[in-house]
Amino acid sequence: MAKSQSPNHVLVVVLAVLAMAAGPVLSSPAAARNDRPVDQATRDAALLTARANLIVAVKRRDMAAVLKFFTPKVMLSFGGDAGHGALKKFLREDKSLWANLQWVLENGGRFNKDGSFTAPWTFFAEAKGIEGTEAGVIIALRVNIRSKPAPSGAVLATRSFGVLRLAYERNGPKQWTRVALPDKRIGYVHQRFIRSVIDYRATWTKKSGQWMISSFVAGD
């Protein structure tokens, strides 16, 4: 597979370039494309500080420090799971959840109409004719879509960000995601470079001047 740049590195580079080249683009919801990295947290210094401190705690796997950034009744699923006890349980039982949380925190986001902030930026990605449950977001530059789920597969197309329709299949190949191109051809993207729109996301809310995460969920 041809080398694609690290998604986290790409986000930092792209945001920096956009900021220098277009100034107000990142601070204007109407001007920024929803299928490109954006981080509106730069508008609020307190949010930036809280997020940076939480990222440090997550990297250290410091459970006590992490919990301080979640509301006592934080929503964790659409099935009733909530609160610090459930969050501790989930983080202890599913080690991949730590990595998911870190990715969410490190990959931008947007403010909502009610003043809350939801991360990552991929949650807001959209494409005409593709429902959110079927939308997969390319999260890096120059990502190859291959004819089969292997580095040896022929390159059908190359995408830098953007949204593709997910073409789910039972017992699909590990580490690869099946997608449908606009011309209806079926291809495969390495899972490192694509993320479902409804994958994990976190919503920050501000109360008494303090930003805390009030929900951390996946699915719909």
pLDDT digits (tens, 9 = 90+) for 170-205: 877 889 999 999 999 999 999 999 999 999 999 999
Output Rg (C-alpha) for the chain, integer angstroms.
Answer: 18
Specify the pLDDT at position 33.
Answer: 61
Q: Per-residue confidence at 8, pLDDT binned at 50, 70, 90? A: low
DSSP state letter for 172: P
CA 39, CA 193: separation in Å to the nearest integer? 19
Pick the CATH number of 39-125+198-217 from 1.10.3720.10, 3.40.50.1580, 3.10.450.50, 2.40.50.140: 3.10.450.50
Q: Per-residue confidence at 15, pLDDT binned at 50, 70, 90? A: very low
Beta strands in 83-169 (DSSP E): 110-111, 117-119, 135-138, 143-146, 155-159, 163-166
Locate 55 and state its tokens: 């990222």
Q: Say which residues have a Cβ less than 8 Å from residue 58's Cβ, sequence separation at least 6.
A: 66, 98, 101, 102, 105
DSSP state letter for 141: S
The amino acid at residue 170 is: R
Of 23-27, 42-46, 119-123, the one with minimum mean pLDDT is 23-27
Residue 2, pLDDT above cutoff 80: no
Please give the mean pLDDT across all residues of the chain: 87
The residues pairing with 70 across neighbouring beta strands, listed in sequence order, are 213
The residues pairing with 214 across neighbouring beta strands, listed in sequence order, are none
Q: Per-residue confidence at 40, pLDDT binned at 50, 70, 90? A: very high
